Chains A and B, each alone.
Chain A
């Protein structure tokens, strides 16, 4: 099954890179430019502040979610829109292989690019602004950011599958998923603000003394639960007998 999933990943990545016409052009715009911008240019400009910024972790979580959301709609709704899905379903690949191959390709690209940018940024800051001293991000931050961004990417991917399978076009799927993700984000922010004072106080008491790892574990567990629920729903929905009737 791993070999078959890799075949799907190979095909999905090739489709992304060929969006710009040529493979080299695609690699340049989908990998080289983001890496140069996020991993070299910004850290170069920001210097030591880049490693100490409290905003940066939000970027490393949000960036893969955005990339995965874009790619997953293209992958699922696009396959149906371009009328290549039925032929793929008529092949020897199992339903789950196709599903997990597409999800792995989207997460592998989005999360991989974000983590690579973060590590490249660290190298850039050290090379340009290190002045003989090693600048490192706190190990806890790296662990929390990489885990939460992976789980958030999986959430975007599985939600994207469900939305794409119902959408008529890629554009419709992307719009619906973007609105859903924004709704989720603003819902959390405004929801927290709207909580009764007693609840807010309880939350503050609970998390004020807790360290980053504890908070991340709670958030991670919530994300993981949501991921498992949505992936189970995607597995139930992504079945030949149902897809062929869409």
Chain B
């Protein structure tokens, strides 16, 4: 397998007068989990469709697993697994039948099919319910089954389009854990689109942020945090007036100071030096109860990138 699993160069796709993906250039290292983040309608699904060879680019090019998406898309699909926007589960079938069908598509032998189906369903905790018709299952169980289907043939590359969308937090956390362990066990590259930034932060070695088809940033979550979001602090107390906030914002080391849910949230430029901040607050009559130091989350970085792009 090549060291770069996905490479796009100025990849562009237009739908009539709308540019869904605009000059996207990125690289995804083989064997890593890559997060592709962006708001609704930002071009994530269109990008996945182009990478799978389901849609032709209007301009630019892409290589997936060393194959050109325009001329060798069959080779790409033969080596990839996909969980797209819709789980694509046959609801009249049992879980076993769903996996059996896709295992036959990927030409797994009868013995290998049985073993792989058993392995995946046991890992996902669905083995005891393998004979049930899927239509009665919860959304979380169907998503798990769709993940198993995407992995049935041990693909080199897995595309996961919002795999935890619509799941409750418990089901989403369970699915994330399953994804992490299954992908690691097979050594596959994972191309993950998600709205869930904590999910991306936890799973992804590198992330890209896209908006209106344009790539805004790409890198390790820590790199993005250091570039786009400085250290933060949260202060709990009483007496945070508008005058206090204005005084804080006038400090050179403070990038922003906002009230969030009754707590004062401060972003710093450079290092987080809390002493002058607390001194100022106390001098202005604020009763400080608790001070928490932290770093910007990927969500902060994401929101900042969205703001920058909007302005």
Q: Which residues of A contact B (CB under 8 A)?
A: 3-4, 7, 10-11, 14-15, 18-19, 21, 82-84, 86-94, 240-241, 244-245
Cross-chain contact B56 with A241 (CB below 8 angstroms): yes
Of the residues A82, A84, A87, A244, contact of B49 by C-beta under 8 Å: A244
Cross-chain contact A86 with B107 (CB below 8 angstroms): no
Cross-chain contact B104 with A7 (CB below 8 angstroms): yes
Give B73's nearest chain A residue, CB to CB.
A240
**Complex Cα–Cα for A83 and B97 (A):** 17
Give B82's nearest chain A residue, CB to CB.
A90
Q: Is B86 an interface residue (CB 8 A)?
A: yes
Residues 22 to 65 of chain B near chain A (Cβ within 8 Å): 49, 52-56
Whether A86 touches B105, Cβ cut-off 8 Å, given contacts A18-B92, A92-B77, A244-B54, is no
**Complex Cα–Cα for A14 and B146 (A):** 19
Give B86's nearest chain A residue, CB to CB.
A83
Cβ–Cβ < 8 Å partners of B149 in chain A:
87
Give 16 A-B pairs besides A87-B86, A244-B54 with Cβ atoms closer than 8 angstroms.
A4-B105, A7-B105, A15-B90, A15-B92, A15-B93, A21-B133, A84-B86, A84-B89, A87-B82, A87-B84, A87-B146, A90-B84, A90-B159, A94-B74, A240-B54, A241-B56
Give A17's nearest chain B residue, CB to CB.
B92
Q: Is B67 an interface residue (CB 8 A)?
A: no
Give A11's nearest chain B residue, CB to CB.
B101
Cross-chain contact B55 with A241 (CB below 8 angstroms): yes
- Taken residue by residue from 60 to 87, chain B's Cβ proximity to chain A (1 for < 8 Å, 0 otherwise) reads as 0000000000000010011010101111
How many chain B residues touch A (CB < 8 A): the figure is 32
Cβ–Cβ < 8 Å partners of B89 in chain A:
84
**Complex Cα–Cα for A241 and B13 (A):** 13
Give B54's nearest chain A residue, CB to CB.
A244
**Complex Cα–Cα for A174 and B159 (A):** 35
**Complex Cα–Cα for A86 and B159 (A):** 13
Cross-chain contact A92 with B55 (CB below 8 angstroms): no
Cβ–Cβ < 8 Å partners of A94 in chain B:
74
Q: Which of A7, A10, A90, A241 has the most CB of B within 10 A?
A: A90
**Complex Cα–Cα for A92 and B73 (A):** 9
**Complex Cα–Cα for A193 and B143 (A):** 59
Q: Is B287 an interface residue (CB 8 A)?
A: no
Cβ–Cβ < 8 Å partners of B93 in chain A:
14-15, 18
Q: Which of A89, A94, A244 has the most CB of B within 10 A?
A: A89
Cβ–Cβ < 8 Å partners of B146 in chain A:
87
Cross-chain contact B84 with A92 (CB below 8 angstroms): no
Of the residues A15, A92, A244, A245, contact of B106 by C-beta under 8 Å: A92
**Complex Cα–Cα for A89 and B74 (A):** 10
**CB of B75 to closest CB in A, whole Å:** 9
**Complex Cα–Cα for A173 and B108 (A):** 35
Q: Is B127 an interface residue (CB 8 A)?
A: no
Cβ–Cβ < 8 Å partners of B49 in chain A:
244
> What would be 20 A-B contacts, judged by CB atoms less than 8 Å apart?
A4-B105, A7-B105, A10-B104, A11-B90, A14-B93, A15-B93, A18-B92, A18-B93, A84-B88, A84-B89, A86-B88, A87-B87, A87-B88, A88-B88, A90-B80, A90-B84, A92-B74, A93-B105, A241-B55, A245-B55
Of the residues A18, A92, A240, contact of B105 by C-beta under 8 Å: A92
Cross-chain contact B55 with A91 (CB below 8 angstroms): no
Of the residues A14, A84, A240, contact of B97 by C-beta under 8 Å: A14
6 nearest interchain CB pairs?
Answer: A87-B88, A83-B86, A92-B78, A90-B82, A18-B92, A7-B104
Q: Is B91 an interface residue (CB 8 A)?
A: yes
